[in-house]
Amino acid sequence: MLEVKNIDVYYGNIQALKSVSIEIKQGEIVTLIGANGAGKSTLLKSISGLLKPKKGDILYENQSISGKAAQTIVKQGISHVPEGRRVFANMSVEENLELGAFIRTDKAGIRDDFEKVFQLFPRLKERAKQQSGTLSGGEQQMLAMGRALMARPRLLILDEPSMGLAPLLVKTIFKIIQEINQSGTTILLVEQNANMALSIADRAYVIETGQIVLSGSSDELTASDQLKNAYLGGH
């Protein structure tokens, strides 16, 4: 479904990604693991059109999307939930969700998707008229995910969905990620909580200083000593 082929990405003169290649098959959950500053968000931004690779190519459903405008990529079926949630604080929950569907004109479908989002996240339904800035961190994360789903993505990119959340809420968010995947959406997940990410992912890649250093099935990586020592707390 998605193939990143040997991309180099720079911020000015600083190279952030070096010959990075990953692939995602339809229906999978693929996780990208790495320390802060390893290049995870840079890779996600390159896929969703916020950064343009200097070299290499990004293919989505066998078509190059490298360097295309972000809104074009959303229209093609990729939604990105950025790190830090970025909800529109002075707008209501409902208005945030409506914005997620701004590229769509199928009113009945949009209504259906409102209901689907409210089924996934009952708490958002309770707070539909509330200003988003007054929501808790967990509720804002739910809203950011709900808003991305309103575009009906075939590929959903999640950047650090559990960051700053209480452990109980983290479990809820991960359960919902699995439900979204089971309903047919492919997922690329960046997550500091490597144990949690590997527990739901099919495959994983490990990125260090802008390069992919390990990849394999979740089971293989969970068993890898290199990964255990670096990211899984050494046990």
Query: pLDDT, tens digit, for every residue of 25-53?
Result: 999 999 999 888 899 999 999 999 999 99
Residue 191 domain flag: yes
Residue 170 domain flag: yes
pLDDT value, residue 233: 60
Name the DSSP letter for residue 134.
G
Residue 92 domain flag: no
pLDDT value, residue 76: 92
**Enclosing domain of residue 81:** 2-87+153-231
Tell me the Cα Rg of the chain: 17
Residue 41 domain flag: yes
Structural contact between residues 68 and 49, judged by C-beta atoms closer than 8 angstroms: yes
Supply the pTM of this predicted model.
0.89
Q: What is the CATH number of the domain that holds 194?
A: 3.40.50.300
Which amino acid makes up residue 129?
Answer: K
Q: Residue 147: is its pLDDT beyond 50? A: yes
Residue 97 domain flag: no
Residue 109 domain flag: no
Buried b (16+ CB within 10 A) or exposed e, 42-64: bbbbbbbbebebeebebebeeee
**CA dist 222 → 177, 210, 229, 234 (Å):** 20, 21, 11, 11
Residue 148 domain flag: no
